[in-house]
């Protein structure tokens, strides 16, 4: 029986292309004066089509990993300065919810489920995005890649959530749109639930997931089905 759910953020709660396409474009524009070479190509982003290549670091890597990738292509910018730019743009990025988050998450809470967030974004912007969607109060646990538990695909954030809600990992579902999310779920011993509101396809996610849903709006029915079975 599933008693708790921990969500990825980008591509799961928020539509990835619309939300992080805008952030990536803003980052490219901000760094343009100090950029050497084609930074869009480095990030696997097509600013004309507003789309990401399958292996883009923006899709699933931590903010620190993205900064490590970008920094060698910049002139006169330190790592702390770059991280601050990324943080500021991330906090103000226009997040587009993948579903009606207050309704869907409230319905899950009404089932008695504990809810958590595990993102490879940093915690500050993650909290700002949840606040903007008016759903922060629905989460029992929020962790970013800088919260002290590491980042996905390592299971640290997920196991910290399990400890926080005092539940065995087998009673928790991890929901995400990338292989990093599903791999983290497997390593933590949780149910792995894929969703199609990120760049990955059903064919890519299915071999790594217990189930692949169109959006998190289908999650409640899936959990009810498990309980009935």
Whole-prediction pTM value?
0.87
The predicted pLDDT at position 93 comes to: 82
Q: Which CATH architecture has domain 4-15+96-228?
A: 3-Layer(aba) Sandwich (3.40)
The predicted pLDDT at position 54 comes to: 83
* pLDDT tens digit sequence for 182-192: 999 999 999 99
Determine whether 54 is exposed, middle or buried from the number of CB atoms within 10 Å of its CB (0-12, 13-18, 19+).
Answer: exposed
Domain boundaries, the chain: 4-15+96-228, 17-92
* pLDDT tens digit sequence for 76-124: 999 999 999 999 998 888 899 999 999 999 999 999 999 999 999 999 9
The predicted pLDDT at position 40 comes to: 95
Q: What is the pLDDT along the chain (229 residues), one digit of tens a residue?
A: 999 999 999 999 999 888 888 889 999 999 999 998 899 999 999 998 888 988 899 988 999 999 999 999 999 999 999 999 999 998 888 899 999 999 999 999 999 999 999 999 999 999 999 999 999 999 999 999 999 999 999 999 999 999 999 999 999 999 999 999 999 999 999 999 999 999 999 999 999 999 999 999 999 999 999 987 7
């Amino acid at each position: 029986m599933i008693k708790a759910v921990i969500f990825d953020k980008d591509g799961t709660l928020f539509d990835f292309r619309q939300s992080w396409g805008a952030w990536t474009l803003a980052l490219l524009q901000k760094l343009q004066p100090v950029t050497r070479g084609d930074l869009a190509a480095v990030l696997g982003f097509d600013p004309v089509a507003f789309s990401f290549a399958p292996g883009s670091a923006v899709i699933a890597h931590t903010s620190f990993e993205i900064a490590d990738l970008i920094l060698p292509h910049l002139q006169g910018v330190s790592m702390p300065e770059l991280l601050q730019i990324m943080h500021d743009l991330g906090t103000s990025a226009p997040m587009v919810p993948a579903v009606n988050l207050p309704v869907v998450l409230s319905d899950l809470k009404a089932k008695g489920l504990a809810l958590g967030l595990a993102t490879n974004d940093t915690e500050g912007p993650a909290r700002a995005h949840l606040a903007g969607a008016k759903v922060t109060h629905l989460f029992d646990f929020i962790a970013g890649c800088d919260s002290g538990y590491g980042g996905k695909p390592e299971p640290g954030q997920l196991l910290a959530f399990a400890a926080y809600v005092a539940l065995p990992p087998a009673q928790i579902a991890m929901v995400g749109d990338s292989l990093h999310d599903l791999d983290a779920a497997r390593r933590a011993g949780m149910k792995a639930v894929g969703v199609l509101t990120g760049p990955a396809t059903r064919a890519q996610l299915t071999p790594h997931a217990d189930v692949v849903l169109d959006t998190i709006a289908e999650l409640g029915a899936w959990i009810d089905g498990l309980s009935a079975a």
